[in-house]
């Protein structure tokens, strides 16, 4: 089965304050839909796309926000 590429972001209360602020800075808010572009092996960073911009973030943060 093909893995999902679209995710809705939630659980912003579960990331640390700095990460929360930076996500907001880059236009990533609760309820925002993003597209997963790239994963890296060994739970390395992921690339997501939102509003025509690509952003790299740690897998742990991605997993927390998407509930993956």
Partner 1 sequence: MEIALIGNPNTGKTTLFNSLTNNYATTGNWTGVTVAQKIGKLKHATAKVIDLPGVYSLTPLTKDEEVVTLYLLDHQPDLILNVTNASQLKRNLLLTLEVREFGQPMILNLNMIDDLKRQGQAYDFTTLSHLLGCPVMATNARNQDGVKELDHALQNEPAPLAPLDLDYPPMVKQAIRQATEALVEKYELPASTARWLTIQYMNQNKVVRRAVAFRNLQPLLKMRAYYDAQHFEEKIFNTRLDFIETILASAKKNLGDQKPKEFSNKVDKIITNPILGLPIFALIFLLIFELSFDWIGTPLSDALDSFISGPVSTTVSHWLIVAGALPPLRSLVVNGIIAGVGGVLVFVPQIVVLFACISILEDSGYMARAALVTDRIMQTIGLNGKSFIPLIIGFGCNVTGIMAARTIEQPKERLVTTLISPFMSCSARLPIYSLVVAAFFPKHQALVVLSIYFLGIVVALAVAKGYQLFFHTTDSSVFIVELPEYHLPRFDVIWQGTWDKSKGFIRKAGTVIFAGSVLIWLMSSFGVSGFVTDPTKSFAANLGQGLAPILAPLGITHWQVISALFTGVLAKEVITSSMMVMFHATNQAALIGALGTYMTPVAAYALLAFILLYSPCFATLGTIKQETGSTKWMLWSLALSLMIAYVVAAVIYLGGTLIFG
Residues found near partner 1 in the complex (CB under 8 A) = 16, 18-19, 21-27, 29, 38-42, 44-45, 47, 51-58, 60-61
Q: Calculate the alpha carbon distances from 38 to 7, 17, 21, 67 in Å.
A: 13, 25, 23, 17
In this structure, the number of other CB atoms found within 10 A of the CB of residue 46 comes to 21
CB of 59 to partner 1, least distance (A): 9
8/21 with CB nearer partner 1: 21
10/22 with CB nearer partner 1: 22
């Amino acid at each position: 089965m093909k893995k999902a590429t679209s995710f809705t972001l939630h659980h912003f209360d579960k990331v640390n304050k700095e990460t929360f602020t930076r996500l907001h800075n880059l236009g990533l808010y609760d309820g925002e839909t993003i597209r997963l572009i790239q994963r890296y092996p060994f739970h390395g960073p992921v690339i997501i796309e939102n509003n025509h911009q690509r952003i790299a973030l740690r897998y742990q943060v991605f997993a927390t926000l998407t509930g993956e």
